[in-house]
Amino acid sequence: MNHALLQPDVQKWLWDHADADVHRIALSSSPFQQISAAELATQLTARRNSRKKLPTWYATPGIIFPTLLSIEQASSETTARYKAGLVTGKSVADLTGGFGVDSLYFSRRAQRVLHCEMNSPLAEVAAHNARLLGSENIRFAHADGLDLLAAEKLSFDTIYLDPVRRGLTGKVFLFADCQPNVIEHLDFLMAHCRRLIIKSSPLIDLTAGIRELGGVTEIHIVSVRNECRELLWVIDENRSATPEIIAASLNSSDKCYRVRPGAEMVEPEYAAMGHDGFLFEPDAAVMKSGAFNQVAQDFGLKKIAPQSHLYTGSQHVPEFPGRVFTIREVTDWPIFKKQKGTAGNVIVRNFPLKAAELSKKYNRGAADTDFLIFTTNLTGKQIVISAEILQYY
């Protein structure tokens, strides 16, 4: 960490140039002898990238930002707040601390937090920011978390781990493909805590993950604004054979939808599409959970078709975990193609054409509230549903 960034005149300059052209700044001469133009540009860019993701850090004077990659890899405040609600006990170890967002929120729930980070400058930045944000109960260690647990014989009520996802394709589907190898160190980790929380990519298959870990208490599928961000695997000392699956949709009002074992065995009702009523689109977290039939049962809805995963109902259900639309019109795809001047935000479910192709043609100049849902109904007919959005997420 470059401590020269903390000088009052530098901090004032950064605030005064918050909206400046960072490319021009990076190519210009730095006004400060101990700070390069590239460092100034990085601070400005990283702060801008944190505006929505990390509003507390963005709005606090004196915060130092790390590389753009570290900001990209950091948890958002929304997901960190949710994770803090999963910790148990008085002590928490964050073995892959990074920029320190999760550790800061853990410190508001636990009495004692350990933040481990192998990147020394990043650990120093996280420690500086935590003090600035008022957290005094975090111990920052520039160390490998697993080595530190072993060397100091440490135990915690909760251990949190966000292993690095690696692989030749850039996409990871197994815990064994992560660094550290969670499967290889699982028994060691459980010997040092009562609860282990592992963050993974949403790309990991739920069934495969359960099989790999060999006993999971809970799986939390976390989405923000209909985008599945992460999976949280909770393992307690008394491992469970059948984990509870929670689809957490984190928006202006959070909704946590619990999946019931065996609910998918019950076939839902199916509906012939009419020209009125309401259309329901489950949130990404619910879609990842696979509760396609359960969501119809729980909210009294009828499914359009087995593979379409869209639902209709006669009334608005505000508790529904997803988007709700008022149906204006339902048109057969061959007829719709001949119409002119139709515009709307495009949703595609079980339809032969790609969303990008349809958006290019129909999304131009569409109002934010107008949607076109391209799907297939129960008889196999391709249809287009014109709708107005009533509820976001």
- List, for residues 37-52, the tens digit of each pLDDT value: 999 999 999 999 999 9
Average pLDDT over residues 123-141: 96
CB 75, CB 101: distance < 8 Å: yes
CA 213, CA 294: separation in Å to the nearest integer? Answer: 26
- Do 158 and 184 lie in a common domain? yes
Indicate the average pLDDT of the chain: 93
Among 245, 330, 327, smallest CA distance to 281 is for 327
pLDDT tens digit sequence for 60-81 = 999 999 999 999 999 999 999 9
Q: What is the pLDDT of residue 168?
A: 47
Instruction: Tell me whether residue 62 is in a domain.
Output: no
pLDDT tens digit sequence for 102-118 = 999 999 999 999 999 99
What is the residue range of 133's domain?
73-250
- Model confidence at 200, pLDDT cuts 50, 70, 90, reads very high
Longest CA pairwise span in the chain (Å): 72
Q: Residue 242, exposed/middle/buried by CB under 10 A (0-12, 13-18, 19+)?
A: exposed
- Do 177 and 234 lie in a common domain? yes
Whether the upstream peptide bond of residue 180 has omega within 30° of 0, thus cis, is yes
pLDDT for 385 beyond 90 = yes
**Domain final residue pick, 194, 216, 250:** 250
- How many domains does one find in the chain? 3
**Domain final residue pick, 200, 220, 250:** 250
Among 259, 330, 271, 323, smallest CA distance to 300 is for 271
- Do 185 and 320 lie in a common domain? no
**φ, ψ (nearest 5 deg) of residue 267:** -70, 135
Measure Cα distances from 268 to 120, 265, 277, 278 in Å: 55, 9, 18, 17
**Domain final residue pick, 210, 227, 250:** 250
CB 86, CB 234: distance < 8 Å: yes
Instruction: Tell me whether residue 166 is in a domain.
Output: yes
Q: What is the pLDDT of residue 167?
A: 57
The domain spanning residue 188 has which CATH number? 3.40.50.150
pLDDT tens digit sequence for 312-338 = 999 999 999 999 999 999 999 999 999
Measure Cα distances from 194 to 10, 16, 81, 235, 245 in Å: 45, 48, 21, 8, 20
- Do 373 and 345 lie in a common domain? yes
Average pLDDT over residues 186-196: 96
Instruction: Tell me whether residue 256 is in a domain.
Output: no
pLDDT tens digit sequence for 157-179 = 999 999 987 654 555 568 888 88
Rounded to two decimals, the pTM is 0.92
